[in-house]
């Protein structure tokens, strides 16, 4: 073969057009996917915000209870504190004082990206003959 035939050139041109169209379809599908993920994530984020607010409220409540237990414990004598009831109160206080709730830390996933080669242009740029 000295050069691409008319049939080969026609097939190449058809392939270039089909590859380019498929690449455009892929770009549209990726953009639609990313938009759907962002839209779905708004609900996830709103729900996480409610959860995090309640976690903060629960943490504040536990700290408040720990403070009340500690206040009660401290007004009693050293003898009471060292006794069975005092030790029970101390353990009760520790349970509330050491509790630590973890808020959700959910982030929007990275967008789907594809930076593939421009196969259509590569096909089109291939030489037609040995030159």
Average pLDDT per consecutive 10 residues, the chain (131 residues; last block may be shorter): 90 94 95 96 96 97 97 96 95 96 93 89 88 80
Q: How far is CA 80 from CA 52, 74, 86, 91, 93, in A?
A: 39, 10, 5, 14, 15
Tracing tokens 């242009």 back to the chain, one arrives at 121
pLDDT at 39: 95
Model's pTM, two decimal places?
Answer: 0.70
Burial class for 91, CB neighbours closer than 10 Å (0-12, 13-18, 19+)? exposed
pLDDT score, position 111: 92
Give the Cα separation of 40 and 106 in Å (integer). Answer: 13
Q: Where are the domains of the chain?
A: 6-103
């Amino acid at each position: 073969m000295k050069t691409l035939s008319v049939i080969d050139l026609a097939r190449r041109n058809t392939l270039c057009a089909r590859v380019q169209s498929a690449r455009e379809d892929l770009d549209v599908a990726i953009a639609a996917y990313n938009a759907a993920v962002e839209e779905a994530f708004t609900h996830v984020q709103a729900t996480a915000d409610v959860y995090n607010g309640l976690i903060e409220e629960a943490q504040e409540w536990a700290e408040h209870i720990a403070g009340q237990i500690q206040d009660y414990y401290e007004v009693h004598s050293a003898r009471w504190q060292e006794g069975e009831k005092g030790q029970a109160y101390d353990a009760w206080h520790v349970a509330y004082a050491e509790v630590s709730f973890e808020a959700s830390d959910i982030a929007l996933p990275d967008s789907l990206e594809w930076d593939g080669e421009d196969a259509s242009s590569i096909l089109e740029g291939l030489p037609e003959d040995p030159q």
